[in-house]
């Protein structure tokens, strides 16, 4: 269901940036579970380049049962840019949830004007993908923008609307990366480092996927995946 989205991201990344692999522990990079009705495979990729310090994406393929594409792009600490967040989930054809956003690190009006307001014209074209759904795990006012795509949808809309929307959002994100001016002052860098770290902490503590990871791959693997790959800057608490 979401393979073309992964391929598009990969093609874009490789054509625009000088990527270096960030190694992933082999047992986290690829795993297969025979626990469910259908075998579930999870595969992850991770890169860096001078502008982007961590580019990670994960695909879960459990056939008809689940198809999930999840990605976060963390800019280099010199850039206060939002993170690019992607979470597309399909549990069969009937339950499809898609979330796509530039996840703001700060919420002051200058920041929002610079990095979030540019999303508005794209967002306006895709009303069907911006539903006012309630968030059960996260706080919509933290690390989410007013122009996020967030929808329960169907396979046809994924192809006809989500794919073009996704291409436009990504295009705009590259534009913001290209235009970004690196901060040099250590207080500014520290502020960005802390904000990215807080994002990992917040996300690790709330990750709605841990139940799913546990059920497919067991508790130990899930904890390791969460803390050593997805949100490695979060501090583990017992
Ligand atoms: C929801 N994301 C979910 C859910 C799951 C995942 C299982 C719950 C779906 C449901 O309601 O049944 C899955 N999250 C994952 C997976 C990973 C993960 C597989 O981190 C890692 C591989 N989530 C993100 C990112 C965004 C995001 C980057 O990881 C930002 C675009 C958003 N996911 C997001 C939101 C919801 C969600 C907003 C709804 C949560 C809520 O209701 O509070």
Q: Is 140 in the pocket of ligand 1 (CB under 6 A)?
A: no
Residue 134: count other Cβ atoms within 10 Å of its Cβ. 5
Judge whether 119 lies within some domain: yes
Over residues 192-209, the mean pLDDT reads: 95
- Burial bucket for residue 145 (CB in 10 Å: 0-12, 13-18, 19+): buried
Note the pLDDT of residue 35.
83
Residue 38 has pLDDT above 90, yes or no: no
Residue 66 has pLDDT above 60, yes or no: yes
CA 140 distance to own-chain centroid:
15
Contact 41, 65 (CB under 8 A): no
Q: Is 141 in the pocket of ligand 1 (CB under 6 A)?
A: no
Return the percentage of the chain with pLDDT > 90, whole number: 89
Number of domains in the chain: 1
User: Could you tell me the CATH number of the domain that includes residue 45?
Assistant: 3.40.1500.20
The residue whose CA has the least distance to atom 3 of ligand 1 is: 208
Distance CA 223, CA 113 (A): 37
Residue 18 has pLDDT above 90, yes or no: yes
Judge whether 200 lies within some domain: no
Distance CA 80, CA 115 (A): 9
The residue whose CA has the least distance to atom 30 of ligand 1 is: 85
Task: Provide the 8-state DSSP code for 127.
Answer: G
Note the pLDDT of residue 238.
55
Residue 21: count other Cβ atoms within 10 Å of its Cβ. 9
Residue 47 has pLDDT above 80, yes or no: yes
Judge whether 227 lies within some domain: no
Contact 31, 221 (CB under 8 A): yes
Judge whether 67 lies within some domain: yes
Residue 27 has pLDDT above 80, yes or no: yes
Residue-wise pLDDT tens digits, 81-120: 999 999 999 998 889 999 999 999 999 999 999 999 999 9
Helix pair 163-179, 3-16: axis angle to 10 deg: 20
Distances, alpha carbon 53 to alpha carbons 48, 78, 80, in Å: 5, 10, 12
Over residues 32-51, the mean pLDDT reads: 91
Strand 30-33 with 20-21, pairing: unpaired
Note the pLDDT of residue 119.
97
Distances, alpha carbon 178 to alpha carbons 75, 96, 98, in Å: 11, 33, 26
pLDDT band at 173 (very low <50, low <70, confident <90, very high): very high
DSSP lists the bridge partners of residue 20 as 48
- 3-class secondary-structure state, position 222: helix
Residue 236 has pLDDT above 80, yes or no: no
Judge whether 53 lies within some domain: yes
Q: Is 200 in the pocket of ligand 1 (CB under 6 A)?
A: no
Maximal CA-CA distance, the chain: 54
Judge whether 157 lies within some domain: yes
- Cα radius of gyration (the chain): 17
- Which residues have a Cβ under 8 Å from the Cβ of 124 and sit 6 or more positions away? none
Contact 24, 43 (CB under 8 A): no
Q: Is 91 in the pocket of ligand 1 (CB under 6 A)?
A: no
Note the pLDDT of residue 140.
83
Which range of residues forms the domain containing residue 112?
A: 3-184
Structure tokens at 205: 């503590």
Angle made by CA atoms 45, 30, 101, in degrees to the nearest 5: 40
Give the chain's mean pLDDT.
Answer: 95
Note the pLDDT of residue 183.
96
**CA of 41 relative to ligand 1 center, distance in Å:** 18
Note the pLDDT of residue 155.
96
Q: Which of 52, 51, 32 is nearest to 42 (CA)?
A: 32
Q: Is 138 in the pocket of ligand 1 (CB under 6 A)?
A: yes
Judge whether 206 lies within some domain: no
* Most ligand 1 atoms within 8 A of CB, residue of 9, 60, 87 to mutate: 87
Over residues 24-37, the mean pLDDT reads: 90
Residue 36 has pLDDT above 80, yes or no: no
Residue 4 has pLDDT above 90, yes or no: yes
Residue-wise pLDDT tens digits, 133-146: 888 888 888 999 99
Q: Assess: ipTM above 0.85.
A: yes
Judge whether 221 lies within some domain: no
């Amino acid at each position: 269901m979401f393979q073309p989205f992964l391929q598009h991201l990969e093609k874009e990344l490789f054509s625009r940036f000088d990527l270096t692999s960030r190694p992933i522990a082999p047992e986290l990079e690829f795993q297969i579970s025979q626990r469910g009705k259908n075998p579930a495979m999870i595969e992850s990729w991770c890169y860096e380049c001078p502008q982007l310090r961590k580019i990670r994406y994960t695909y879960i393929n459990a056939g008809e049962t689940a198809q999930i594409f999840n990605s976060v792009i963390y800019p280099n600490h010199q850039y206060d840019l939002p993170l690019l967040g992607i979470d597309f989930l399909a549990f069969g054809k009937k339950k499809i949830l898609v979330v796509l956003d530039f996840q703001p690190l700060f919420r002051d009006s200058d920041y929002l004007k610079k990095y979030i307001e540019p999303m508005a014209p794209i967002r306006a074209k895709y009303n069907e993908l911006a539903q006012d759904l309630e968030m059960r795990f996260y706080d919509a006012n933290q690390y989410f923008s007013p122009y996020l795509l967030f929808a329960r949808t169907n396979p046809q809309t994924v192809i006809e609307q989500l794919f073009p929307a996704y291409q436009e959002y990504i295009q705009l994100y590259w534009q913001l990366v290209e235009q970004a001016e690196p901060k040099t002052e250590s207080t500014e860098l520290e502020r960005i480092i802390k904000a990215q770290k807080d994002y990992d902490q917040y996300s690790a503590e709330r990750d709605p996927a841990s139940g799913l990871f546990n059920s497919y791959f067991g508790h130990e693997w899930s904890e390791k995946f969460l803390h050593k790959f997805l949100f490695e800057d979060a501090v583990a608490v017992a």
